[in-house]
Structure 1
Amino acid sequence: MSTSGYYGGVEGGATHSKMVLMNANGDILAWIDGPSTNQWLIGQEECLKRVNNMVEDAKSKAGLDSSTKLLSLGLSMSGADQKDAQNQLISGIKSKYPQCSQNVFIASDTAGAIATATEKGGIVLIAGTGSNCMLINPDGRAFRCGGWGHLLGDEGSAYWITQTAIKIVFDHEDNLKVSPHDISFVKDVMMKYFQISDRDELLHYFYSKFEKSYIAGLCKELAQGARENKDKLCLELFRQAGEILAEHILGVGPHVAEELLNTPSGLQVVTVGSVWKSWDFMKEGFVNVLKDRAKNPRISKICLLELKESAAIGAASLGAKSIKQTLPIDYLHNASMYFQSEF
């Protein structure tokens, strides 16, 4: 069987990964679910092993012989922003697993999300456990705002919302900064979530027992408080998250190509992460920031897109483009617009 017609794409995350195997016509031959492939969490050797295992499983599921080399393999992975790390992964795959693919292309997780939803580029705005914003212009140039982790960034993320809520409770009870909103609901869900009876016990979770994703999990309870209880502090937290996420867009705004600004739908922003499920509470803050023409002189129209397919498809497309091949991608199927506005 010809080996020149198969293309792979992997969406690699810190928790789980997903791979797609496609032919030259853009037909999907196999989907494979896999574990974390973040090299900073599991090590480079284990990362390469897991990627190869996914490729082999995909070949088997598609009825291909294990000796069949993919023409290209695109990897869109968390923790793969640095060029040196990308080159090390590429050389590692080629040397350790020569039957995997003839060509390997690696980009950040944000790049795969954009390539899944749009053909010419745009902005991806991640607000999950952490946050990040990336602009990719039609010429391939990329510009970033945020994504520096919980100590230097992550504004607007689930972790940031949780940490901000807890800090408000601490400051209010210390009489350091009195909250204009009642803290009772937030304090109650905080105590229940962490199963503590005194706020001193919370220090273990932020220091000796720190686990970012677990702390961020409280955000779901805060979202429920906004939705079901209409708690004013919870509502304010999500309004502020909307503001600061919009400010990420303004951060890359000066670099947005005119071609992206002048599309019929406006500047396309692919939103990724569970925080966007609370869009109803973020909308006011988000829109108000973009309406401020003093801060936003360029962007007059915007649309928010939600991915309906895995970013593995975009990764496969990027891998194909790296060898000057184009896969037929149904962008309208891969993403849907849920908000559009002119300012």
Structure 2
Amino acid sequence: MVGVVVGVDGGGTKTVAIVYSPIEKKVLGRATAGASNVNSVGDDAADQAIANAITNALKEAQMEHKQVAAVACCLAGADDPKAAANRQDAVTKLLSHIDKQRVVVTTDAAAPVAALRDGELNGGLCLIAGTGCVAMAWSANGTKHRVAGWGPALGDGGSAHALATRALTFAVMQHDGRVSARTAASGGLHDCLLEALHMDSADALIPWIYDPARTWADVAALAPVVCKCAEAGDQDALGAVRTTAAELALYVRAAANRAGFESAFDVALCGGLVESQLVRHHLDECLAYECPNARTAEPSVEAATGAAMYAARLL
């Protein structure tokens, strides 16, 4: 068999490669490797992860490198033109028989959109809400528009990190006596957070949060605790969830406006935070007010397969 394509979905945790037959519309091979976000692992490690994922996916498909006709790599950190060009050079070197025009490196937000729209990006919009958050829209002429994605230091309020930070801030305010709990849940948000962190007092939050080794992901990992507390009826946790959902809705509205969307459109959702049914419910409520033309949707195939569908359009 000849003329297969490869799709790669890479981020700060792992890299997934898919070998895909455009004719059969079938996944032939799949493999995972380490992180490929150049901002977190550097150039060499990113290139190695991508190469490992592609090579192992081809092995599973029992195919050779020379049988690949096109590649689309949808990577976190690829918004930077220099980083994208470096990844393109590395993949072109790995698959030296392919014309460089058929090796595309773009943002990781492209993969969920392509997964939802059979490989088409133009007219699509993706909302990623995990440790970080970003909304990305493609106008009808292919121009890309990004909203958010600035990171916690610059106010990305729709991320799991932001949700957890809101909850932690409430916990220390309650500890100080600056606010009173409105909880309907056993123990309340304050106690749930301390229990999750194995702490006896909010005083222990200071060395924990300011530990030089503390990562954004460590903080974001508390988001499910907040959601669980909200689901149990805690009004303080629920308020934090609603605020986060409202931020995400604003990202969608801004991205849609910048891309010139006028009729109804789907929002491809991606990321652990929007897997929460509670967050999804409040996001839909906020969108109904902020951006009535938007409909949230989850792709039926994984992001790497969407990247492969995008690659198929390069043929």
Q: Common fold, TM-score beyond 0.5? A: yes
Report if aligned partners of 2:174, 2:190 keep a CA contact under 8 Å in 1.
Answer: no
Query: Partner residue of 1:211?
Result: 215
Total equivalences in the alignment: 306
Question: Which residue type is aligned with residue 113 of structure 1?
Answer: P
Report if aligned partners of 1:147, 1:153 keep a CA contact under 8 Å in 2.
Answer: no
Deviates more, 1:272-281 or 1:81-90: 272-281
Question: Which residue type is aligned with residue 229 of structure 2?
Answer: G
- In 2, distance between residues paired with 1:36 and 1:285? 29
User: 1:192 aligned to 185, 190, 195, which one?
Assistant: 195
> What are the equivalent positions in structure 2 for 1:150-189 lying under 5 Å apart?
150-175=152-177, 177-179=178-180, 181-182=182-183, 184-189=187-192
Report if aligned partners of 1:86, 1:107 keep a CA contact under 8 Å in 2.
Answer: yes
Question: In the superposition, relative to structure 1, how do residues 69 and 281 fare at CA in structure 2: closer, same or farther (>3 Å)?
Answer: closer
Question: In the superposition, relative to structure 1, how do residues 64 and 114 fare at CA in structure 2: closer, same or farther (>3 Å)?
Answer: same
> What are the equivalent positions in structure 2 for 1:1-343 lying under 5 Å apart?
2=2, 5-25=3-23, 26-66=25-65, 68-95=66-93, 97-99=94-96, 101-103=98-100, 104-118=103-117, 119=120, 120-175=122-177, 177-179=178-180, 181-182=182-183, 184-208=187-211, 209-227=213-231, 229-258=232-261, 261-262=262-263, 266-280=264-278, 283-284=281-282, 287-288=285-286, 290-291=288-289, 296=290, 299-321=291-313, 323=314, 325=315
- In 2, distance between residues paired with 1:280 and 1:256? 28
- In 1, distance between residues paired with 2:21 and 2:286? 45
**By how many angstroms is 1:33 displaced?**
2.2
Report if aligned partners of 1:20, 1:30 keep a CA contact under 8 Å in 2.
Answer: yes
- In 2, distance between residues paired with 1:278 and 1:30? 30
- Structure 1 counterpart SS, 2:90: helix
- Structure 2 counterpart SS, 1:28: strand
Report if aligned partners of 2:15, 2:49 keep a CA contact under 8 Å in 1.
Answer: no
Question: In the superposition, relative to structure 1, how do residues 173 and 80 fare at CA in structure 2: closer, same or farther (>3 Å)?
Answer: same
- In 2, distance between residues paired with 1:100 and 1:311? 26
Question: Which residue type is aligned with residue 115 of structure 2?
Answer: T
**By how many angstroms is 1:156 displaced?**
2.0
- In 2, distance between residues paired with 1:282 and 1:57? 35
- In 2, distance between residues paired with 1:41 and 1:284? 31
Question: In the superposition, relative to structure 1, how do residues 257 and 149 fare at CA in structure 2: closer, same or farther (>3 Å)?
Answer: same
- In 2, distance between residues paired with 1:41 and 1:62? 30
Report if aligned partners of 1:129, 1:157 keep a CA contact under 8 Å in 2.
Answer: yes
Question: Which residue type is aligned with residue 73 of structure 2?
Answer: L
- Structure 2 counterpart SS, 1:71: strand
- Structure 1 counterpart SS, 2:16: strand
- Structure 1 counterpart SS, 2:276: helix
Deviations 1:44-80 (A, max 9, x none): 11211221122221222222235x2521111001111
Question: In the superposition, relative to structure 1, how do residues 6 and 190 fare at CA in structure 2: closer, same or farther (>3 Å)?
Answer: same
- In 2, distance between residues paired with 1:123 and 1:46? 29
- In 2, distance between residues paired with 1:289 and 1:6? 39
Report if aligned partners of 1:238, 1:278 keep a CA contact under 8 Å in 2.
Answer: no
Question: In the superposition, relative to structure 1, how do residues 48 and 100 fare at CA in structure 2: closer, same or farther (>3 Å)?
Answer: farther
Question: Which residue type is aligned with residue 7 of structure 1?
Answer: V
> TM-score by structure 1 length?
0.81
Report if aligned partners of 1:8, 1:74 keep a CA contact under 8 Å in 2.
Answer: yes
Mind listing any 5+ residue stretches in structure 2 that lack a counterpart? Answer: none
> TM-score by structure 2 length?
0.88
Compute the RMSD of aligned alpha carbons.
2.3
**By how many angstroms is 1:101 displaced?**
4.6
Deviations 1:196-226 (A, max 9, x none): 2232321233222312112211111121112
- In 1, distance between residues paired with 2:108 and 2:269? 13
Question: In the superposition, relative to structure 1, how do residues 150 and 309 fare at CA in structure 2: closer, same or farther (>3 Å)?
Answer: same
- Structure 2 counterpart SS, 1:178: coil
Question: Which residue type is aligned with residue 225 of structure 1?
Answer: C
Mind listing any 5+ residue stretches in structure 1 that lack a counterpart? Answer: 326-343
Deviates more, 1:149-158 or 1:200-209: 200-209
Query: Partner residue of 1:334?
Result: none
